[in-house]
């Protein structure tokens, strides 16, 4: 299995994932997807996950 990012996981800049899938959960935490928001303390703003598996779809 490839690396899974979940809501609350840290980013490379010390931020964290703010929101994730409403339906996909692993180890009691929601799975983050491309386009989900992240907080960046370096630039004091919200960004979005830019990379991931583009074929993964949920929330249908």
Question: What average pLDDT does the segment 51-60 reach?
Answer: 74
Q: What is the pTM of this model?
A: 0.81
pLDDT at 15 over 60: yes
Do 54 and 32 touch, CB atoms closer than 8 A? no
Task: Please give the average per-residue pLDDT across 7-18, as a whole number.
Answer: 94
Q: What is the number of other CB atoms lying within 10 angstroms of the CB of residue 2?
A: 5
**Residue 3 confidence (pLDDT):** 82
Would you state the pLDDT for residue 59? 60
Q: What is the pLDDT of the chain when averaged over all its residues?
A: 89
Helix H, strand E, coil C: the string for the chain is CCCCCECCCECCCCCEECCCCCCCEECCEEECCCCCEEEECCCCEEEECCCCCCCCCCCC
CA-to-CA distance for 16 and 46, rounded, in angstroms? 10
């Amino acid at each position: 299995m490839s690396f899974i990012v979940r809501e609350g996981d840290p980013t490379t800049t010390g931020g964290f994932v703010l929101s994730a899938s409403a339906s996909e959960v692993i180890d009691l935490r929601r799975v983050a997807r491309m386009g989900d928001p992240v907080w960046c303390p370096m630039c004091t703003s919200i960004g979005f996950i830019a990379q991931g598996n583009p074929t993964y779809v949920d929330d249908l």
